[in-house]
Structure 1
Amino acid sequence: KRGQQEVLLNESTATKVKEEDRSAKLEAVFEENEKELNELTETLNERLGALKELFGVMQQVAGDARSRFDNSLTNVQYPNRSSFLDNLAKKLGSSSKLPSIDEIEKLWFELQREMTESGKVVKFSTDVIDIQGSKSQTTVVRVGAFNIVADGKYLNYEPTTGNVSEIPRQPEGRRYTSSTSELFNSTGGKVVFGLDPTLGGVLSSLVARPNLIERIQQGGIVGYLVIALGLFGVGLSIERLIKLVNADRKVTAQLESDVISEDNPLGRVLGVYEKNKTVDTETLELKMAEAVFKETPELNKGLLLIKVISVVAPLMGLLGT
């Protein structure tokens, strides 16, 4: 047993010495390779020179372009640009790979195409999700980078998913939705169109703006009371206007006639004069004043109520707010 142990010990010692020699050789090779790598890296940096700054700028441009393209309406028509820009940015960020001339030219081409397409009105087909949630191939019109519409409808582009969908509610008023139909069916020339230069901000505000029925519902009980009071005031005003115009017409006719008629205030006052023209002046004045006072309430009836309504209705509106 002791002899076997000595043999094993000698073998282990020999193996250790051998591995130590191998480790020393590997360390020497590693140091030599590291030195050579540093020299080659320095040589590469020297040869790159200004190109290194150029590639750094290109990497930033590629990243910015990807973000801009993803949020642009042109991405609906040209959806395959992101993967190219991602790969190019990774390659530019790597110290071991350089972009090819074709890749540099393609980056320029994509930037140029984005700028050109932003000024075009283009009709094409794409998948559109309707308000029921079903997707179908639909012909749409893209207005630069501002709006995308279908026939009679504004559409919404969601950059995170890349989906084009019909907005749940279209802007109130035919002047907006009808302009989309005119644009959709146009074959050339100038077309009146409701353009949103804020890339969706104005359209969202128009969609969120309540219509007349919704505004009335928002007013609640106070709103209903204000409307009822207003309608009552308008009705009373119309009734008073008709009666006063009719009375004015009859009074004007009485002024032009020598025959006293009892169907108008002036005629009735003149009738009192005719019946009492034989009495003394003081009594006649009293009779005439009494006749005028009798006619005044009928002519002024409802005017005070109209004035009260014109003051109360706005105050109730303030109360409601």
Structure 2
Amino acid sequence: MKLKVCLSLCLLSLTTPVMADDTHGQTSLVNQAQTAQQQEQQHNRQREAGFQETEQTLRETAARLQKTKAGLQKEIDSLTAQFSKNESVLAKQEEKLRLETGSLGEIFGVVRQNAKSLKSDLSHSITQIDRQAYTPVVDDIVAAKSLPSLKQLNGLWQSMNEQIRASGEVAQVKIPYINAAGVKQTEPAARLGAFGVVTEQGYMNWDHNKQVAIPYLKQPDDGPTLNSIAPLLAGQTQPMIVDPSKGTLLTQLANAPTLLDRLKAGGIVGNIILGLLAIGLIIGLFRGISLATIKRKIKVQLKTPEQPGNNPLGRVLSVYDKEKHRSVEALELRLLEVVVDEQSHLEKGLSMLKLLAALAPMLGLLGTVTGMIETFQVITQFGNGDPKVMAGGISMALVTTVLGLVAAMPMLLAHNILSSQAESIRVILEKQGIGLVAAQAEQDQNDDLEQAA
């Protein structure tokens, strides 16, 4: 311990001169430190004052918000209580309304249902041209959420009565019309009840969305026009064609295929059948005229057998005149030869006609099979969901069958008629030939008897 004290004194004595030299510097540093400390303390006091001011402001804001929160909570409690009270009152009022209305609610449902149905009919009816004065009343009933008023109920039945009257009258009206050039103009027309509109061009298709009339693509045969129904407009009665479907049948009329369209559906096979039919009819017509002419000439020849003409019977008589000096057997053979030749001329073309009549149904069957093959190919590729895809093959299958039968029947009938005529002529020739041979045989027998006597 003493040793430590001694060492400390020695060190102090050694450092004393140095510290004496730095005393002035230390004093300066202490002053600076004190000045900095005072500045820092002042700055801290300013910051503390600011913090205290901010804290006071925040406390005031918090107090104000708490007060506002309490006011809002009180208002919420008040509104909640009022809502509950209103709910209770509303439930009581609804129950009271239900009890007081009673069957009126059902009546309201029926009224609205009928009003909706009537509105749908009015929106698609041609009576909107001139006879829909109560449409706004019907719209109000449909859109209403409460019981209809007496005025609305009166308007509903008046609208129904108006449509009943309009459906049974023929009225002359003016309609907006779009012509073939696409120009809109006003056209005089006649409204036929609720069934259609007629102008000079015939029936018009009334577009209820655009409120214009458009002509149908195809008019019915003997369809009415504005001039043809003038007696109806004058109050008279007159029969005429009316579309009871209110335009549906007239629209479908344009889609009805014509005879040319049906023939085109037969395809190549159908054209071949028509060609065979034309050839058969030409053959039948030519042979029919020829046989009729021959038959007429034979009738004339029968009246003058002594003057053979240019006809089958005349040629038979000519052969008889040339060969009557021969024996009966030879004469019979010569006359038989002439009759056979004439028969071949009479039946010329009939075998071809019979062949065509047999060939037409077979071609029809060929077209049917071809059309069914095409239909099955379409089904394989596209399925059977869309009938329009298969319509081509089915049309060909059906049309060719019909064409084959239609072609065969007149050719068979013509073949039968012409064969009967040829057979009747052949019978006349054979009968006349047999008669000539018999007369020659009797004459020869008489000559032999005279010679024997």
**Could you say which TM-score interval applies, normalised by the shorter chain?**
0.7 to 0.9
Q: Distance in 1 between matches of 2:92 and 2:200?
A: 65
Which of 243, 247, 251 is matched with 1:200 structurally?
A: 247
Q: What secondary structure does 2:204 align onto? A: strand
- Match status 1:170 vs 2:218: yes
Question: Which of 330, 338, 353 lines up with 1:283 in the alignment?
Answer: 330
Q: Is the 8 A contact 2:176 2:186 kept in 1?
A: yes
Computing the radius of gyration over CA atoms, which structure comes out larger, 1 or 2? 2
Match of 1:34 among 81, 87, 94: 87
* 1:100 maps to 2:149: yes
Segments of structure 2 that go 5 or more residues without pairing to the other structure are 1-52, 368-395, 401-453
How big is the shift at 1:291? 1.0
Aligned counterpart, 2:384 = none
Question: Structure 2 residue aligned with 1:111, among 160, 163, 174?
Answer: 160
Q: Deviations over 1:188-234 (max 9, x none)?
A: 32323221122233323322223344444444444443333333322
The amino acid of 1:100's aligned partner reads S
CA deviation after TM superposition for structure 1 residue 266, in Å: 1.1
Q: Which residue of 1 aligns with 2:26?
A: none
Q: CA deviation at 1:267?
A: 1.7
5 Å matches for 1:1-321?
1=53, 2-78=55-131, 82-91=135-144, 94=145, 97-167=146-216, 169-171=217-219, 173=221, 175-176=222-223, 181-183=227-229, 186=232, 187-317=234-364, 319=367, 321=400
Aligned-pair identity (%): 29
Q: 1:202 to 1:236 in 2, by over 3 A?
A: same
Change (3 A) 1:261 1:38: same
- State how far apart, in whole Å, the 2-side matches of 1:220 and 1:131 are: 33
Q: 1:154 to 1:314 in 2, by over 3 A?
A: farther
> 3-state DSSP class of the match of 2:92?
helix
Distance across 2 between alignment mates of 1:114 and 1:17: 67
Alignment CA distance shift 1:34-1:84 (3 Å): same
Q: Is contact 1:226-1:313 (8 Å) kept?
A: yes
Distance, in Å, in 2 between the alignment partners of 1:131 and 1:316 is: 44
CA spacing shift, 1:172–1:51, aligned 2, 3 Å: closer
Once the two structures are TM-superposed, the CA of residue 81 in structure 1 deviates from its matched residue by 5.2
Distance 1:248 1:180, change over 3 A: farther
The CA distance in 2 between the partners of 1:182 and 1:313, in whole Å, is 46
Following TM superposition, by how much is the alpha carbon of 1:32 offset from its aligned partner in structure 2, in angstroms? 2.2
The separation in 1 between residues aligned to 2:276 and 2:90, in whole angstroms, is 91
- 1:151–1:180: 8 Å Cα contact kept in structure 2? yes
Q: Does structure 2 retain, via aligned residues, the 8 Å contact 1:272–1:288?
A: yes
Aligned CA RMSD, in angstroms, stands at: 2.5
Distance (whole Å) between structure 1 residues aligned to residue 238 and residue 258 of structure 2: 27
SS of 1:208's partner is coil
Aligned mates of 1:213, 1:59 — CA distance in 2: 52
User: How big is the shift at 1:310?
Assistant: 3.1
Show structure 1 runs of 5+ residues with no match: none
2: CA distance, partners of 1:172 / 1:106:
38
Deviation track 1:250-295 (CA, whole Å, cap 9, x = no partner) reads 2112212241313111121122122222222221121111111111
* Distance change in 2, residues 1:315/1:83 (3 Å): farther
Cα separation, partners in 2 of 1:226 and 1:119, compared to 1, 3 Å: same
Structure that is richer in helix per residue: 2
Query: TM-score under structure 1 normalisation?
Result: 0.87
More moved, 297-306 vs 185-194: 185-194
